[in-house]
Amino acid sequence: MIILVINCGSSSIKYQLLDMKNDDVYDLLAKGLVEKIGLPMGCLTHKPTGKTPVVNELPVPDHKVGMKLVLDALVDPVHGVLQSFDDIEAVGHRIVQGADFFSGSALVNDDVIRKIEICCDFAPLHNPAHLLGIEAMTHVLPSVPQVVTFDTAFHQTMPEYAYMYALPYEYYTKYHVRRYGAHGTSHQYVSRRGAKLAGLDLNHSKIITCHLGNGSSITAVQDGKCLDTSMGFTPLEGMIMGTRCGNIDANIVPYIMKKENLTPDEMTTIMNKKSGFLGLSGKSSDMRDLNDLALAGDRRAKVVLKKLTFDVLKNIGGYIAEMNGVDLIVFTAGIGENNARLRRRVCENLSYMGVKIDEQVNENAHGETIISTPDSKVIVAMIPTEEELMIARDTMHIVSALED
Ligand code: ADP
């Protein structure tokens, strides 16, 4: 089944075209990105498998035009990979926030769209863009079934004591204020792959998954289900991230707002876009830059790196206690997959419970790798995340069931 996976942001469309043979066997036909939608000059980067990539600068006024550009690139006589639009059998969309409406993926219909609209309140930067993506796709491919996969769905198994904040209960009943988590598709994928790689029975296992990228979250997966996760009502809660502050004393928020005379929106922007690695270092939100800065002796960059390790440990330690043990720790996403030093530092601090990694294997890890030694009491692995594959799988299952 040929499936187009779409990840729509407010000014961008990321896409992958996959030919799914079954859950594990697939061909990536093409992937790409439309950027700077709505700006005077936009850009399409199209990477067809086995053909020369194309970069095309042109104005992209809205998502409908962007989606049409993606489809035209896919059927282009030179750079395309399909004969016609009709070859696309289904479309899968990534949706950031599904709140407690969705504990799994769903076929797009009016009711689903209405619920995603309600969730815009909790993800004002993301959900409206996803809706634009669905609308644009409905416009250009009206007869193709569309499926939505939610970043929050995997975390719906959290027990009440994990998802409730200790605020007056009425804010939960009136405004749905609770913890929802994020990166669920990634945590679900790497916990399953990790269990397989480590030879564990997923249904009787204790796994901690560390998704460390620009946005970072850590999840406790007990018996294949999410027990707890570090992100909360929004993806701001938890650990230090590229530009997000993670956990802070909530009283700091009104304190700074009063001192600096800030509006709620301005304060939200500071916590989400100007904090984290960027705010603390004053120089960059990118881990590679911070590594270089720290090597050159930059004191604040060194604090950022230490705080990141510290936050990862704090979550891992907490989840080991919550699950009364751990069988497997998985690292994934940009930092988790590429930063061997961070993995080593985290594991060194877990030596008290018998975690031992093979430094050589850790340094050279590419693709799914067990980095712990055979005598380590806990298995540690690096698993590249494949969120698009998860979306394509769910889309294939839901659309195949329709056809049956
Ligand atoms: P997003 O949350 O935007 O999907 P990614 O998962 O791509 O983010 O992660 C981006 C982060 O990964 C950046 O901080 C980047 O510096 C870091 N990263 C990517 N490659 C490397 C590398 N080779 N070494 C260290 N950090 C890396």
Q: 338: Cβ below 6 Å to ligand 1?
A: yes
Spell out, as residue ranges, where the chain has pLDDT lower than 50. none
Q: Is residue 339 part of a domain?
A: yes
Q: Are residues 307 and 396 in the same domain?
A: no
Q: Are residues 237 and 337 in the same domain?
A: yes
Instruction: Name the β-bridge partners of 150.
Output: 95
- Can you tell me which atom of ligand 1 is nearest the CA of 215? 2
Q: Is residue 181 part of a domain?
A: no
Q: Are residues 205 and 94 in the same domain?
A: no
Q: 286: Cβ below 6 Å to ligand 1?
A: yes
Q: 306: Cβ below 6 Å to ligand 1?
A: no
Q: Are residues 33 and 72 in the same domain?
A: yes
Q: Which residues contact 116 (CB under 8 A, 6 or more apart)?
A: 95, 98, 127, 130, 131, 134, 148
Angle ∠(258,260,265) on CA atoms, nearest 5: 85
CATH of the domain at 251: 3.30.420.40
In which region does residue 228 sit, left (phi positive, over 0), alpha (psi from -120 to 50) or beta (all else)?
Answer: beta
Q: 276: Cβ below 6 Å to ligand 1?
A: no
Q: Is residue 281 part of a domain?
A: yes
Q: Are residues 43 and 76 in the same domain?
A: yes
Dihedral angle sign, alpha carbons of residues 232, 236, 238, 242: positive
Q: Are residues 129 and 252 in the same domain?
A: no
pLDDT of residue 124: 81
Q: Are residues 315 and 212 in the same domain?
A: yes
Identify whether 72 is a catalytic site residue. no
pLDDT of residue 404: 76
Q: Is residue 291 part of a domain?
A: yes
pLDDT of residue 122: 85
Q: Is residue 167 part of a domain?
A: no
Q: Are residues 106 and 227 in the same domain?
A: no
Q: Are residues 369 and 397 in the same domain?
A: no
pLDDT of residue 123: 85
Q: Is residue 162 part of a domain?
A: no
Q: 76: Cβ below 6 Å to ligand 1?
A: no
Please check whether residue 41 is in contact with residue 67, taking contact to mean a CB–CB distance below 8 angstroms.
no
Give the mean pLDDT of the chain: 96
- How many folded domains does the chain comprise? 2
Q: Which of 19, 23, 151, 228 is catalytic?
A: 151
Residue whose CA lies nearest to ligand 1 atom number 2: 214
Instruction: Name the β-bridge partners of 54.
Output: 46
Q: Which residues contact 7 (CB under 8 A, 6 or more apart)?
A: 13, 14, 15, 93, 94, 387, 388
Q: Measured in angstroms, how far is the CA atom of residue 187 from the centroid of ligand 1?
A: 17
Q: Name the residue range of residue 138's domain.
A: 2-154+390-403
Q: Measured in angstroms, how far is the CA atom of residue 358 from the centroid of ligand 1?
A: 23
Q: Measured in angstroms, how far is the CA atom of residue 102 from the centroid of ligand 1?
A: 29
Q: Measured in angstroms, how far is the CA atom of residue 191 from the centroid of ligand 1?
A: 20
pLDDT of residue 246: 97
**DSSP category for residue 83:** S
pLDDT of residue 10: 76
pTM listed for this prediction: 0.94
Q: Measured in angstroms, how far is the CA atom of residue 289 from the centroid of ligand 1?
A: 11
HSE (side-chain half, CA atoms, 13 Å) at 315: 30
Q: Are residues 307 and 355 in the same domain?
A: yes
Mutate to test the pocket of ligand 1, among 214, 216, 305 (most ligand atoms within 8 A of CB): 214
Residue 111: is it exposed, middle or buried by C-beta count within 10 angstroms (0-12/13-18/19+)? exposed
pLDDT of residue 121: 86
